[in-house]
Amino acid sequence: MAKLTHPCPCGNTLEFEQCCGQYISGSATAPTAEALMRSRYTAYTLKDEPYVLATWHTSTRPEKLELAADTATKWIGLEVKRHQQQDDTHAIVEFVAKFKINGRAQRMHEISNFVKEDRKWFYMDGEFDESR
């Protein structure tokens, strides 16, 4: 994994190693659904498919994503709009991820569902909000 010495791609001002890097490397577990979502976004920017899949709940996880083969997508920004803890084991994170495909700007607005099992957060699924 590449060592990043600039602000984390997730939008926090912390350096990668103090932010999402600790979760992606496995040296720490994301303490909240928002932290997990930010680390998953960062993993997408790094094309770290094993981490994205490992943090996806087994009941909804695809077999593979083929992130390394996607040379057209460049992730360029993340804005977390809402993090709502529903109970001890369920949370919602609403975010907008900005990216370019072959140089053309795009945005993905998603409301994601997370579940906590065995003291770890997992991405379950999400709904895309095309209206905003």
* pLDDT of 18 strictly over 80: yes
Give the C-alpha separation, 123 to 51, whole Å.
Answer: 12
In a 10 Å sphere around its CB, with 0-12 CB exposed, 13-18 middle and 19+ buried, how is residue 26 labelled?
exposed
4 confidence band (pLDDT: 50, 70, 90): very low
Domains and CATH numbers, the chain: 16-61+73-128 (3.10.450.50)
114 confidence band (pLDDT: 50, 70, 90): very high
129 confidence band (pLDDT: 50, 70, 90): confident
Q: Is 62 helix (H, G, I), strand (E, B) or coil?
A: coil
3 confidence band (pLDDT: 50, 70, 90): low
Q: How far is CA 66 from CA 20, 62, 63, in A?
A: 21, 11, 10
Residue 131: its pLDDT value, please? Answer: 62
Phi and psi angles of residue 80, each rounded to the nearest 5 degrees, phi first: -85, 120
Would you state the structure tokens that stand for residue 20, as one six-digit string? 């999402």
* pLDDT of 42 strictly over 80: yes
pTM: 0.92
Mean per-residue pLDDT for 1-22? 83
> Could you tell me which residue, 31 or 132, shows the higher pLDDT?
31
In a 10 Å sphere around its CB, with 0-12 CB exposed, 13-18 middle and 19+ buried, how is residue 34 labelled?
buried
pLDDT digits (tens, 9 = 90+) for 85-102: 999 999 999 999 999 999
